Structure 1
């Protein structure tokens, strides 16, 4: 496969995953903002959205007011924000258009239709009238795109690059969500008595990765921070966990292995092994924030190595 084609496929799926992750994060934050809380806590919660995406500086330069409504607009509609939902869906569609001949008709039509529908929702003001409905639309369209891709594409290198982009983006996002929430406690044990508000914050973290029902099924107990960390880092049967994502990346790299990718495969396998045999007690004792920072650095390095080994080295 031509490296430019592989690059478009990789980023097409990665941008769609990023749009879904952003919608999940904003939707849960919007729900949390409706709960009784101090104004400072509500503002910090919205600022955390920017921290997750490393966009504080860009946002502050464009929106000095810094209101929740401005953060929503910045993260959803702002074309100057490369990580906004609008920018991600546009980039996903443009990457799909560039490799239309490598996609099934159903996949191309799905990506193109999503972009056209987004434009209609922007003109109609769906975000402003019903933000929850808008975020649900983004999530469902991402599910649709993923299902159509897996259900209609030949299982060849093209599909492997699509999956590779999706799982790298998913691993990065899950780590960022956990890092923002755990940063204050920095791996310290949970307080003996956590209030209702704290329960709902952990519920929000699980909800942002569709993990609340999974948590209750696995642990059958009240939400505990250390178990949330274990579920989202070390449980291979949790679809959005770090282990599940890195495991998929490692397998996909093995499928498209070439003469230049041996070191990339080794590093992915090493990260996978550490997650396979890791213990949450050791991670928390060493400091979860530091652990997640190292993980994000390693995921970023894997992405750079994949670009060097297989893709056209473009800035995204």
Structure 2
């Protein structure tokens, strides 16, 4: 497979998952934000923007600015519209590899971005529409593409982005202190109903954090997502050696997963920021290692004439 095609498929997975995760977080927080006084809106809006790795430019950064930055700004890959646009552009570059159904879904989604009102009610409907479209993209990728190297690159990108998004959300204790309950934290990851069925009478932020971090059966938990990434890397490079791993990315992801899975702690909430910082660094390092191994372009050799 050409490196440019592999890179495009990897980033389709990442960008679609980024749009999905951002839509979930924005959807859960819209109603709460709209009911807050302006002074508190500025504070919570800045905290939500911080989850995405950005900072507000001005002190009066409020709800309308947040909606534009996280939902509608097509120039920013951190926004929903920007991420879906980038996914569509990568699908265009890999047009000969992705299925026609997947391309048409991404293309239709791109043209549908401008058909939504940009107020609070419109954004609420927009988020639900995005969740439906990203679910359709993932379903079409799973059912209309061969599960070969190309599909593995897409799953690898999706898994790393999913682990990173969940870690970013769990690393935001300020949101809990400012009124975001553990129930809403679970809903941001689409995990509330699964959590209730699994834990039943158990409740509280520590149980919720443990579920989103360590549950081996829930697809959006950090451990599950890292496991998916590890399996994809193994399929892409199944070479065997008796000592260690040839693939740096697989070593990085495996170390992050096993540290979480086998680390016993009596106070998970106190150590949560440290754990989540480690996960985010591991995702970034794994992405860099994947780029170096599979996507990095060799420098073109230039012909140098003989010097007389």
- Shared fold per TM-score greater than 0.5: yes
Q: Distance in 1 between matches of 2:79 and 2:12?
A: 15
Query: RMSD over aligned Cα, in angstroms?
Result: 2.3
Q: Distance in 1 between matches of 2:2 and 2:119?
A: 39
CA separation of 1:299/1:283 partners in 2, compared to 1, >3 Å: closer, same or farther? farther
Alignment partner of 1:308 is 2:292: yes
Q: Distance in 2 between matches of 1:43 and 1:222?
A: 33
Runs of at least 5 residues in structure 2 that lack an aligned partner in the other structure: 240-244, 298-308
Q: Distance in 2 between matches of 1:223 and 1:43?
A: 30
Within a 5 Å distance, the mapping from 1:281-300 to structure 2 comes to: 281=266, 283-285=268-270, 287-300=271-284
Higher gyration radius (CA): 2
Give the drift of 1:245.
Answer: 0.3
Tell whether the 8 Å contact from 2:229 to 2:253 is kept in structure 1 after alignment.
Answer: yes
Within a 5 Å distance, the mapping from 1:273-284 to structure 2 comes to: 273-281=258-266, 283-284=268-269
Secondary structure at the counterpart of residue 55 of structure 1: coil
Correspondence for 1:225 among 192, 200, 205: 205
Correspondence for 2:247 among 262, 271, 284: 262
Runs of at least 5 residues in structure 1 that lack an aligned partner in the other structure: 186-196
2:43 corresponds to which residue?
44
The Cα offsets for residues 178-223 of structure 1, whole Å up to 9 and x where unpaired, read as: 10136888xxxxxxxxxxx95x621111111111111111111253
1:21 corresponds to which residue?
21
Q: Distance in 2 between matches of 1:116 and 1:278?
A: 46
2:161 corresponds to which residue?
169
Q: Distance in 2 between matches of 1:10 and 1:262?
A: 17
Correspondence for 1:132 among 102, 124, 139: 124
Matched residue count: 292
CA separation of 1:127/1:99 partners in 2, compared to 1, >3 Å: closer, same or farther? farther
TM-score of the superposed pair, with normalisation by structure 1: 0.85
TM-score of the superposed pair, with normalisation by structure 2: 0.87
With 293-302 and 241-250 compared, the bigger mean Cα shift is at: 293-302
